[in-house]
């Protein structure tokens, strides 16, 4: 065992900032345990409000680790500084949670720092998961002469050129040790006294750039930053940023922008910032175009195949390709009908690779197009061309999906086109649903994990109260409620919280007669999955209701500017209504909504000046009736219902 200097309580303080990477963090901690046999090491985990159960896992599995559980995401630099203030080691290792260190890593880095007193900060050789070198483990500051070749892609084209490949130093031998401008923030081995003199990371950097800034300030103080290739770690790069609710590449560019503004001269600053901002614009443009192409890949292929089907039919019928141009605009009309039919069956929207639904959509489109061909001759041409093209379309569109399903998806284990499903409830019925979804990928679902009230089940990825955060983080498409595990009242409250997120709410019912909302039924093996829909949450209905609230409340408020209106207002028995108009304008209230005066403490919808419950004028409405009234209103909502309820409330009629 190494004997530490008496000034310090231990040799190394390892600080790890975690954010929703529980599984990777467990691997990291196991590797630290193996690597710290010969040294006195303390470990700090600073959790930036993970919703995947990371703090509970640390408390139960690693009680000797110092845990700092933040109530919000403070960013990388600020979280590291929290632990730095109480660290007792001679050296500090800032380590990412998605890393695995080698058994000799701590020994080698400790010895290197002991033998090189002019080095205040060091980094080791970092490998990607596939064994390739992670270029960020040694790099230069983004001066114009460094940033321009990097942004233009010249660094990648000429990795051996010392003038064009400065940013990642690819012209240097990765197996030699030398001083560098900066090392990766995923592994930074530092002298504690120097880092504390510098006050740790600059907390103005939220994520990215703070490692470059720290390396820059270390060298300003007269110390070296060294690259030490004698030991390696594996870094599963980007795992934390995958869970982040922002574009990590844009955040990176902005951090570089912030870095050059802070440290470079005005001349270098201006040119570098222009280059970085150009990079942000190009990234956004390419991302937008790529996103559109990716989303439309199935309908674009369908369009090409439908056009090909008609071209082949015309060649077969007339032996002359020029007939293709004579069949305009009937081919675009047929095309629109076919695509509309398969869209109506959900094939282009949710089930892009469902060949059975596509077959049904093409067949439906064929019936419609056949009606056009046979009963409206002025806008149609050869019936034989239509029939041949129909059979080609019926072959091509379901056919390519079937080929994809049999050969490509199964061979590559591609799950990118499956709908990512999160199941609420981990009891027997919830686990059965998960098992069936896992065993039947052809249904189009990918089981992601459970949401529950605790993390007792290892497949639970979040608590129920954190559903709003986990949905965008894990790209959840469907929330499926297991039968009997969540009360209907709580389910409705959850639906209200999730109404603005792009997620479908579904339930596996115990009794189909008890389901609320419109029921689109799917059968998977011997279970049924029903879409949960309320009219009041439909986009058009939400827009109409909100517009009605704004317009009517503004008109009523305008009456306050009339002298007679003011007099009537203060004599009116409806004075409380006027006082609440401002809440309606803000959107926290509605003219027609829930009754927040009930004693059951449940609110299914925003409070209203009136509503079904308010008109009942009964003091005996309990939780069951409250739920029943609000379920009926939210399910059957229409603007005419709101108008009717308002009229009845004003006139006192029932």
Quick: pLDDT tens for 449-484: 999 988 888 899 889 888 988 888 888 888 988 877
CATH number, domain with residue 459:
3.40.50.720
What tokens appear for 175 in the block? 């197996």
Domain C-terminal end among 246, 265, 289: 246
Question: If DSSP codes are grouped into helix, strand and coil, which group holds residue 654?
Answer: coil
Enter the DSSP assignment of 454.
Answer: S
15 and 95 co-located in one domain? yes
Mean pLDDT of 274-285: 68
* Residue 474, domain extent: 419-533
How confident is the model over 556-573, as a mean pLDDT?
57
Q: Is residue 495 part of a domain?
A: yes
Residue 337 and residue 401 in one domain: yes
Strand partners, 581: none
Q: Which pLDDT tens digit goes with each residue over 11-26?
A: 999 999 998 888 889 9
Q: How many residues does the chain have?
A: 654
* Crossing angle of the two packed helices 266-295 and 248-263, in degrees rounded to 10: 180
Residue 265 lies in a domain: no
From residue 559, give the alpha-carbon distance in Å to each of 250, 555, 567, 568, 571.
Answer: 49, 7, 10, 10, 14
> Does 575 lie in the same domain as 508?
no
Give pLDDT, residue 309. Answer: 93
Cα Rg of the chain, angstroms? 32
Residue 262 domain flag? no
> Residues 494, 428: one domain?
yes
In the beta sheet, which residues pair with residue 452? Answer: 463
DSSP for 54-115, written as a single string: HHHHHHHH-TTSEEEE-SS---HHHHHHHHHTT--EEEEEEE-TTEEE-TTHHHHHHHHHHH
With a cut of 60, say whether residue 639 has pLDDT above it.
yes
The kind and range of the H/E element at 609 are strand 608-610
Alpha-helical (H) ranges within 116-221 are 144-151, 154-157, 192-197, 210-220
Cα–Cα separations (whole angstroms), residue 515 to 74, 440, 537, 578: 42, 25, 16, 38
d(CA 322, CA 456): 68
Residue finishing a domain among 396, 412, 428:
412
Structural domain contains residue 150: no
DSSP symbol at 464? G
Residues 389 and 446 in one domain: no
Which range among 91-100, 363-372, 557-566 shows the weakest confidence by mean pLDDT? Answer: 557-566
- Beta pairing class for 41-47 and 10-18: parallel
Kindly state whether residues 194 and 48 are assigned to the same domain.
Answer: yes
| pLDDT of amino acid 264 | 64
pTM, entire model: 0.64
Our count of domains for the chain comes to 4
Confidence class for position 4, pLDDT limits 50, 70, 90:
very low
The pLDDT of residue 580: 79
At 130 the pLDDT is 80
- The per-residue pLDDT for 617 is 65
The CA-based angle 540-543-547, given to 5 degrees, is 140
Q: Residue 22: CB partners within 8 Å, gap ≥ 6?
A: 50, 52, 53, 54, 57
Q: Which two tokens stand for residue 364?
A: 């439906």
284 in a structural domain: no
- Of all helices (H) and strands (E), which one includes residue 565? helix 563-571
Same domain, 233 and 117: yes
Kind plus residue range of the DSSP H or E element containing 277: helix 266-295
Query: Domain check: are 113 and 220 in the same one?
Result: yes
Classify residue 273: in a domain, yes or no: no
The beta-carbon contacts of 554-558 under 8 Å, at least 24 apart in sequence, are 554/585, 556/581, 557/581, 557/585
DSSP per residue over 485-536, as a string? TS-HHHHHHHHHHTTTSS-EEEE--SSGGG--S---EEEETTEEEEE---GG
pLDDT per residue over 398-424, tens digit each? 999 888 877 765 544 555 567 889 999
Domain end position, chosen among 488, 511, 533: 533
- pLDDT of amino acid 1: 32
Q: Are residues 556 and 511 in the same domain?
A: no
- Same domain as 635, residue 492: no
Residues 611 and 464 in one domain: no
Q: Positive or negative CA dihedral for 433, 434, 438, 444?
A: positive
Q: What's the whole-number mean pLDDT along residues 33-53?
A: 92
Instruction: Please give the mean pLDDT across all residues of the chain.
Output: 80
The reply to whether 598 falls in a domain is yes
- 130 Cβ partners below 8 Å, 6+ apart? none
Specify the DSSP element, H or E, that contains 119. strand 119-127
**Token digits for 39?**
């040294």
Q: What is the pLDDT of residues 116-166, one digit of tens each?
A: 999 999 999 999 888 888 888 998 887 777 777 776 777 778 888 888 888
Domain co-membership, 98 together with 193: yes
Closest CA to 342 of 284, 268, 396: 396
In angstroms, the CA 611 to CA 589 distance is 12
Beta-sheet strands, E only, within 320-464: 419-424, 445-452, 460-463
Tell me the CATH number at 183: 3.90.550.10
Q: Is the pLDDT of residue 366 over 80?
A: yes
Domain presence at residue 505: yes
What is the pLDDT at residue 251? 63
In this prediction, residue 302 carries a pLDDT of 92
For the record, the structure tokens of 274 come out as 């222009």
The band of 501, judged by pLDDT with boundaries at 50, 70 and 90, is confident
């Amino acid at each position: 065992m190494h004997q530490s200097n008496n000034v310090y309580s231990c040799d190394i303080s390892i600080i790890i900032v975690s954010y929703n990477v529980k599984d990777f963090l467990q691997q990291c901690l196991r590797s630290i345990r193996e690597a710290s046999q010969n040294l006195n090491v303390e470990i700090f985990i600073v959790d930036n409000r993970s919703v995947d159960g990371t703090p509970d896992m640390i408390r139960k599995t690693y009680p000797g680790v110092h845990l700092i559980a933040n109530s919000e995401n403070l960013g990388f630099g600020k979280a590291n500084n929290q632990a730095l203030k109480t660290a007792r080691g001679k050296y500090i290792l800032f380590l990412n949670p998605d890393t695995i260190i080698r058994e000799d890593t701590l020994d080698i880095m400790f010895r290197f720092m002991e033998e090189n007193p002019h080095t205040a900060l060091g980094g080791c050789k970092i490998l990607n998961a596939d064994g390739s070198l992670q270029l960020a483990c040694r790099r230069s500051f983004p001066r114009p002469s460094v940033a321009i070749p990097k942004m233009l892609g010249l660094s990648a084209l000429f990795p051996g050129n010392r003038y064009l490949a400065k940013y990642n130093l690819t012209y240097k031998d990765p197996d030699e040790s030398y001083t560098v401008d900066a090392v990766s923030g995923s592994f930074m081995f530092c002298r504690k006294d120097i880092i504390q003199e510098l006050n740790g990371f600059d907390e103005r950097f939220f994520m990215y750039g703070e490692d470059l800034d720290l390396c820059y300030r270390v060298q300003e103080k007269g110390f070296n930053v060294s690259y030490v290739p004698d030991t390696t770690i594996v870094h599963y790069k980007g795992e934390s940023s995958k869970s982040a609710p922002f574009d990590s590449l844009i955040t990176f560019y902005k951090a570089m922008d912030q870095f050059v503004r802070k440290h470079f001269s005005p001349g270098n600053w201006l040119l570098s910032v222009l280059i970085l901002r150009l990079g942000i614009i190009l990234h956004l443009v390419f991302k937008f175009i790529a996103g559109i192409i990716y989303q439309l890949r199935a309908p674009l292929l369908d369009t090409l195949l439908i056009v090909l089907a008609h071209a082949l039919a015309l060649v077969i019928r007339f032996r002359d390709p020029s007939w293709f141009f004579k069949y305009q605009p009937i081919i675009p009309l047929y095309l629109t009908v076919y695509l509309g039919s398969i869209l109506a069956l959900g094939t282009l929207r949710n089930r892009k690779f469902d060949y059975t639904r596509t077959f049904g959509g093409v067949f439906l489109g064929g019936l419609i197009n056949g009606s056009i061909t046979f009963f409206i001759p002025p806008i149609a041409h050869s019936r034989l061309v239509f029939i041949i093209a129909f059979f080609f379309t019926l072959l091509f569109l379901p056919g390519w999906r079937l080929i994809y399903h049999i050969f490509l998806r199964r061979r590559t284990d591609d799950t990118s086109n499956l709908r990512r499903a999160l199941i609420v409830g981990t009891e027997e019925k919830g686990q059965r649903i998960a098992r069936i979804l896992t065993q039947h990928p052809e249904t189009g679902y990918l089981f992601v994990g459970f949401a529950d009230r605790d993390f007792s089940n290892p497949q639970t990825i979040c608590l129920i109260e954190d559903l709003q955060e986990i949905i965008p983080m894990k790209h959840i498409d469907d929330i499926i409620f297991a039968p009997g595990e969540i009360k209907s009242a709580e389910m409705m409250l959850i639906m209200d919280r999730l109404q603005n997120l792009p997620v479908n709410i579904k339930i596996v019912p115990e009794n189909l007669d008890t389901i609320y909302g419109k029921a689109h039924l799917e059968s998977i093996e011997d279970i049924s999955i029903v879409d949960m829909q309320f009219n009041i949450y439909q986009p058009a209905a939400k827009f109409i209701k909100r517009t009605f609230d704004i317009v009517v409340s503004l008109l009523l408020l305008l009456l306050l500017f009339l002298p007679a209106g003011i007099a009537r207002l203060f004599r009116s028995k409806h004075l409380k209504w006027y006082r609440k108009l401002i809440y309606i304008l803000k959107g926290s209230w509605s003219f027609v909504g829930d009754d927040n005066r009930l004693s059951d403490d449940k609110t299914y919808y925003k409070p209203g000046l009136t509503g079904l419950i308010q008109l009942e004028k009964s003091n005996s409405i309990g939780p069951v009736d409250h739920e029943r009234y609000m379920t009926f209103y939210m399910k059957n909502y229409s603007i005419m219902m709101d108008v009717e309820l308002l009229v009845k409330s004003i006139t006192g009629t029932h």
